[in-house]
Chain A
Amino acid sequence: MIEETEKTRRYLDGLSGKVRFFLGDEAAAYGALFAGCRFFGGYPITPASEVAETMARELPSVDGFFVQFEDEIGSIAAVIGASRAGAKSMTATSGPGFSLMQENIGYAVMTETPCVIVNVQRSGPSTGQATKPAQGDLYQARWGTHGDHEMIALSPNSVQECFDLIIDCFNLSERYRHPVIFLMDGEIGHLREKLVYPGRETVSLFQRGGADPADKPGLVRPMQEFGFGESIHITGSTHKENGMRDVTSRDVHEDLITRLYDKVDKNRENIVRFEERYMEDAEVAVVCYGATSRPALGAVKRAREEGIKAGYFRLITIWPFCERRMKEIGRQVKRILVPEMNLGQLAREIERFVGVPVHRVTKIGGVSHTVDEIYGALTGEAP
């Protein structure tokens, strides 16, 4: 664990309460610094490069380290190594780089190594529209790496939330000893708006190493770090509780993978976050996340002005999915509208939990929805 020095305290306290006009990418970087991130390994990619640039500039002020790697595979590998060596660590990338990182994200799951991976989503697949935003990595964030595993992914819809929510990402990552995906999109990453730094005393951080009283199922083991003479053995192979490889026993594999899965799944209610407005009497729900939520809220407000009983539901935690609340919504409303910047990924997940019609309001090509478009879909009129 890297101890916080007086100098680091002065630097962060100096920012507390100040107001900035920032990009989402920059806000995410500063949020990471507040969360205690002291190692960043990355590789340039649009539209995530500003996260790396900000970390490269500011990490020395908190005794942290920035390394630009030869590729994204090396970046996530070093992030996991640095985390094991005692530093809260993260990387930031976009689609192509996120694809390259998948194997080692699985390694972080298997070895229960905390780390945060920022994915500022852009149009894909492949190089796609490199400079255009998209929301097409919803399922990749969940199922990108091979094998049975859970995943934790959060998504912001404002510059302020880029800062606030990445702190949650670090806390969840440390608490559950799991990689956490910060699923931004190019629109939020490159949006410039107001950021207010919180007072440092209001930011609570989960300290690694201790037991977590909120982990009711008791499935999370205390984190061990290198360098204390404990001869810790960490492997991505199937291993016993003491870390030793055992790749032939069915029981050892089942016990391990079930525990890794359950520690997220059975703590789902502690991880799931969402925002809802006008949902109390809603007959049609607009379910969304990230950049799309902004025109979606505008459309719902306009519908309310017109006397239409529309509600707004925004996922903040994308994974694990808000199953319980979605089932309730499915019982309450007559239909669900899902605007998203892909061909219907979130809609597909929602359909697994509701019996009412789910209307896709999809838009790809790097252009975000307008209020008119979503309102039009709400009322059944073309915009």
Chain B
Amino acid sequence: MTVKENPLDKYLRKEILPTTHCAGCGGGLVLNAFVRAIDDLKIPREAIIAVTGIGCSSWIPSPYLKVDTLHTTHGRPVAFATGVKVIQPEKKVVVIAGDGDLAGIGGNHLIHAARRNIGLSVFLVNNYIYGMTGGQVSATTPFGVITTTTPYTNPDHPLDIAGLVAVAGANYVARWTTFHMAPLINAMKHALQKNGCSFVEIVSQCPVSYGRRVEMRDGLAFMKHFKDNAVTVKQAMERSEEELEGKIVVGKLMERDRPEYSETLRRINEARNAEASSA
């Protein structure tokens, strides 16, 4: 029997697989969905620049994805990526990072990237917890959950980060879970093709640092939870806020066509230069 090469291997640094993610982690599913999305779109890996932050989800692309990779400081990947995109606007500049990076410490950069509508594809892997540091409460941890830093239950309410990015001005915003692989891949493809800032929140599982707090100790329990609690955007519109408590609203939350930032900067430069040469 001959072992055929997986057609997706070309996107991976195969020599360092398997990943260091824990058993049952959603990180591998996200990596899988992403390479399928770029393969479906026939985007060569030379055309992609991946930017990540700090934490488990940043280890999804770094170093396993075989593309130019900028593994940055905690919370700042969107800001680093903005500098990259302005200089290389023809590239697909992709940010894959977690709720700690993008909803917590670096939330402000995400808001302003959406406001500028810089052409980044941002994939936020939301596992509701700081996993790498041992299970501390994050900005998306549900109210009332016990974590290592909320030993008497979480007094904070979780942030609807996708909703925030939608009102901040991004051209495309969607949310799916690692259970919804086909629509997730489609949303990633849409995000990669959409001009302007696009954002997909991927609700993912951390059986080790989060699941043990909420009686979901393996990946399968999370799959079932995502399946049972997902509510489409359309269904959600007919329900009250109370009825949606604990549910995960999936689907496209926003689509619009504001001008992309690096293109706007180039138009400003051209106009300025036309003015200067006619003066």
Contact = CB atoms under 8 A, between A and B. Distances in A.
A48 to B, nearest CB: 19
Given A71-B108, A226-B91, 7 more contacts: A39-B87, A79-B83, A82-B87, A85-B86, A227-B49, A228-B46, A235-B63
Interface string A150-184: 00000000000000000000000000000000000
Interface stretch (B143-151, B171-179, B247-255, B265-273): B265-273
A249 interface: no
Nearest to B68: A226
Interface stretch (A60-68, A252-260, A269-277, A366-374): A60-68
Contacts of A73: 76, 79, 109
A55 B245 CA distance: 49
B69 A232 contact: yes
A65 B86 contact: yes
B70 interface: yes
Interface residues of B, number: 39
A226 B93 CA distance: 11
Interface in A1-59: 2, 7, 38-39, 41
B80 A81 contact: yes
Interface string A71-101: 1011101111111111101000000000000
B166 interface: no
Q: Which of B45, B76, B84, B87 has the most CB of A within 10 A?
A: B87
Given A7-B273, A61-B273, A231-B68, A78 B80 contact: yes
Interface of A: 2, 7, 38-39, 41, 60-61, 63, 65, 67, 69-71, 73-75, 77-87, 89, 103-104, 107, 226-237, 244-245
Interface in B92-111: 108-109, 111
Interface string B62-93: 11001111111100100111111011100100
A378 to B, nearest CB: 47
A80 B84 CA distance: 8
Contacts of A103: 73
B3 interface: no
What are the 10 A-B residue pairs with the smallest beta carbon separation, nearest first?
A: A81-B83, A78-B83, A82-B83, A229-B46, A74-B79, A77-B79, A85-B87, A235-B71, A81-B80, A60-B272
B72 A86 contact: no
Contact of B68 (A80, A82, A104, A227): A227
B37 interface: no
B80 A230 contact: no
A260 B135 CA distance: 34
A39 B86 CA distance: 9
A87 B84 CA distance: 9
Contact of A80 (B83, B86, B91, B112): B83
Interface of B: 13, 16, 45-46, 49, 51, 62-63, 66-73, 76, 79-84, 86-88, 91, 108-109, 111-112, 262, 265, 268-269, 272-273, 276-277
B63 A245 contact: yes
Contact of B87 (A87, A107, A231, A236): A87
B24 to A, nearest CB: 23
Nearest to A103: B73
A230 B46 CA distance: 8
Contact of B265 (A65, A232, A235): A65
Contacts of A104: 73, 76
Nearest to B59: A245
A227 B91 contact: yes
A228 B112 CA distance: 29
Contact of B51 (A65, A81, A245): A81
Contacts of A65: 86-87, 262, 265, 269
B29 to A, nearest CB: 22
A236 B72 contact: yes
B276 A233 contact: no
Contacts of A229: 45-46
A37 to B, nearest CB: 12
Given A85-B88, A226-B49, A245-B63, A233 B83 contact: no
23 contacts: A39-B87, A41-B82, A63-B269, A65-B262, A67-B82, A67-B86, A69-B79, A70-B109, A73-B76, A73-B79, A74-B109, A78-B80, A79-B83, A81-B80, A81-B81, A81-B82, A86-B87, A231-B45, A231-B68, A234-B71, A235-B71, A245-B62, A245-B71
A241 B49 CA distance: 20
Given A226-B49, A226-B68, A81 B79 contact: yes
A2 B87 contact: yes
A133 B276 CA distance: 36
B54 to A, nearest CB: 9
Contacts of A74: 76, 79, 82, 108-109, 112
A226 B66 CA distance: 13
A110 to B, nearest CB: 10
Given A71-B108, A233-B63, A81 B84 contact: yes
B16 A244 contact: yes
Contact of B84 (A82, A231, A244): A82
Nearest to A86: B87
A71 B70 CA distance: 20
Contacts of B72: 77, 80-81, 107, 236
B204 to A, nearest CB: 22
